[in-house]
Structures are given as structure tokens and as C-alpha cells.
Amino acid sequence: YESNSDPWSKSQLEQWTCYSDVENLIIEDAYSKNESHLMMDNYYIDFKRKIQISKDNENNQRPINRVVRKTDKTRVREERFTFDPIAPKRPYGHEYGWVSPFILEVRKYLKLIPEQLPSKDDSLVPMIVEKAADGIIEEGKIIGRLCEAQKLAEKLKNEKDKGMKQVWICCAKLYSMECFLYKKLNEVMRLIGSDDHEQLWRSKVRTLGPFCLLLWDNPFQTKLTTEKTLYRVVKLTNEQIATYEEMAKNPNEYRSFQAFTSSSRNKDVGNNFPTTNVLFIMEIEFAFTVDIAPFSEYPHEEEELITPGVCFTVHRVEFDKSAKKHVIHLKLRHRFSRRDKHQFQKDLTQASGPEYNTRSGRITGDLLIDGVDLRDLLDDHFSGIALDDGDDLSYDRDGNRH
């Protein structure tokens, strides 16, 4: 649609703006059915006259045009890669262990016992998909995006009887779209750890939680990502940058990202956003991330999603004079909290596969936690998991316990 201030002015240069990915799906579907009009949330479209008309003021009209979109391989979506992934009042989340508090609350809401996950039990999938679809519609209605929400829910429900793998692929595609869903989900999850906002994020467990669980429970991934470098740019205040500088003085101080965090494997991602002032260079030691580029309409972005709960330390902070940006080097890894330790002990007492030596506190067999074989994931980094009393469990590549 023509988006300049006066779309009918002969003196203004034409400015055309694409509809969101989901709006485009809805509009194209109606157009292909030869419908004359299409009602959306805040406007309706007259296909014969090729105009968009505001529902609030029928005199507010804009020309529309249907074109074949060519992917601009130089364009990266700014909001997706630059929004602040953490709570407004602090630059990072506290450390909560292997599984995000949001995911834990979702599992409680769905009344799932610890070993129950949709990736392990396809019979759970239709129920969770229905709740996810209903939640998306409810959230869309709240923010005036009901039509988009209904289309997202429709696409998700179409996959509900096809098994978790197909459902997860659908979730990855929906999340990668330029629409309200990824924005709203991360807006809520980044509040975890903020006392002022705890009631807010907990209130969204019912609506956004089921979709979050489906996206988080990736049935294709049983290995941790290792030895990969990711990039992300943001705009931070001087106070926030100073906090990272202080963390760099304490290399064993861990914090975490509690939202799904979009990053890129392309180191030049920061060149697209001159208004940002910080480039994160994130070196993954071992953590759960997922490459969603194959499911995206924007594969050139090389998007890698960092899953909720991944911890980091600040290696160093420097200023790049040529780029005019602070460069913050992070090291990412998954860590195990005391809560995780107790869960491991409980699972070991119930499992027949792993062998647990109560004297040495060592696992000598396979151990599945949330569908993931920890021995397969971590054998490259240490020879066993110590379950003796102590602080939170974490190991470096040499098997040293911190």
C-alpha cells in the first residue's frame, strides 16, 4: 500500500510499504478466490478499485498494488534483530537452570508430568495445538490483530494430527514470519526475573505458553550446538553498557537470556542498522540453538534462534572506532541448577538404563532429560555429571566443575 502522508498528492514521492507476512497470506487468499472485498482488523480492501479504506474514516483511503515480491538479500529485518531481548530495567536475566521458568509454568498449566513432552508423545500434540491456537487468537484480539491471529491459528491447527515434527516445522515458520506473534511472545518472556512484572508474564502462560512449548520442544534436535559464533546488534544505554563492563571483570558470573533470541550467523548483520550502538559477538561453547533459516521467508538473514534459558558470561567489552559501536563478547553455555540436579537424581532412581554410583555420584549410562540424552550432548565436554552436594552444576570443556 502507498504509505506516504498524502498518498494522493502529486507532489510527494510515492512510498510503498509491504503488508505483514500474515496480512499478505490473507489478502492473497481472498484475491485468488476473486473476492471483491476483504475485511481486516482496521481497514478493508476493495480489490476492484485497488484501494485500502480505513474502518474509522472512509475518507482515509490508500492505493494498493499487487506485485511479485523479490527477496532483497541485503535487507535484514531491523526489529527482529535489534529489539532488546531482556527486561527494560536490566540488561540480562538471572540464571535459572536447564529449563526456563516460563516453560516450567506452561508444563504445570498443561498438567504434564516431568517426563511428558509432545516430542516424546504424539498423543499430546493435538491438545496442545488447540490450546496454542486459542491463545494466539486471544492475544491477537487484545492488540487488534484478530484477523492475523485467526490465520496463524488456522495454519497451526491444520497440522495438529500430523505429529510433532510437522507441528514444530509449522511453529518455526510462524515464528519466523514478520507478524505480532514473535514480538508478543518475547515481550512477555523477557520480563522473567523482574519482580515488577512477574504477575504479567505469569498471566500469559495460558495464552502464549502452549505455542512457546511447541516451539521450544524441537523434536529434530538432540545435540547441543557447539563451537559456533553468532551476532546480534542492539541499542543500549551507557548504564547498560557499563553493567556489561562490570561483568567482564567477573568471568565466572553467569546470566541468561529468557526469551527466544534471534541472532545471525552473518557477522555483517550490524552494518544494516546504523542507529544501533552495540554489537554482540556470541561464542557458543555448548547450548541449545536452532537454525530456522530453512523455514523462513528470509533465509538470507541466516537466523539462528537462541532458546530460552541459555546462560552467558561476558568475556570482554571494547569499542570499535571504525564501526562506532561497542563490541561485547559473550560466551554461551547451558548450565544446570540445583533444581536440575535434584531432577537428575529423581530420574536416575526411576530409570533402568543409566547406572548411578551413589558413592562417586557419577552417571555411567545413558540419561534422558526432557527427551535429550545428556551423555550424548555433553560427552565431548566432560566424562560424567557429579551429583554431590554443592553449588549449581556447570562444567567447562576440560570437565572442570564450577
In tens, the pLDDT along 146-189 reads: 999 999 999 999 999 999 999 999 999 999 998 999 999 999 99
The residue type of 320 is D
* Span 337-347, average pLDDT: 49
Q: Where residue 16 falls among pLDDT bands split at 50, 70, 90? A: confident
The pLDDT value given to residue 376 = 45
* pLDDT tier at 253, thresholds 50, 70, 90: confident
**Per-residue pLDDT, 114:** 78
Is residue 91's pLDDT more than 70?
no
Contact 356, 375 (CB under 8 A): no
Give the pLDDT confidence score for residue 286 in this predicted structure: 87
C-alpha cell at 215: 516451539
3-state secondary structure of 236: coil
The torsion defined by the Cα of 167, 173, 177 and 180, in degrees rounded to 10, comes to 20
Note the pLDDT of residue 368.
47
When mean pLDDT is compared across 58-62, 95-99, 256-260, 297-301, the lowest value belongs to 95-99
Complete DSSP assignment for 37-83: EEE-SSEEEETTTTEEEESS-TT-EEE----PPPP-TT---HHHHHS
Q: Give the model's pLDDT for residue 375.
A: 47
Q: Lowest-pLDDT range, 144-153, 190-199, 268-277?
A: 268-277
**Which of 34-38, 98-102, 130-134, 285-289 comes out lowest in average pLDDT?**
98-102
344: its cell numbers:
537428575
Segment 306-323 shows an average pLDDT of: 92
- Does pLDDT of 76 surpass 60? no
Q: Which range among 18-22, 83-87, 204-208 shows the weakest confidence by mean pLDDT?
A: 83-87
Most confident of 71-80, 203-212, 282-291: 203-212
- Quick: pLDDT tens for 228-240: 999 998 888 899 8
Rounded mean pLDDT, 8-20:
87
Give the angle subtended at the CA of 145 by the CAs of 182 and 104, to the nearest 5°. 40
**Range 272-293 average pLDDT:** 89
3-state helix, strand, coil in the chain (%, to 5): 35, 20, 45
The overall pTM is greater than 0.85: no
> Mean pLDDT over residues 194-215, rounded?
94
Predicted confidence at residue 275, as pLDDT, reads 81
Q: Is the pLDDT reported for residue 203 higher than 90?
A: yes
Q: Which residue has the higher pLDDT, 54 or 76?
A: 54
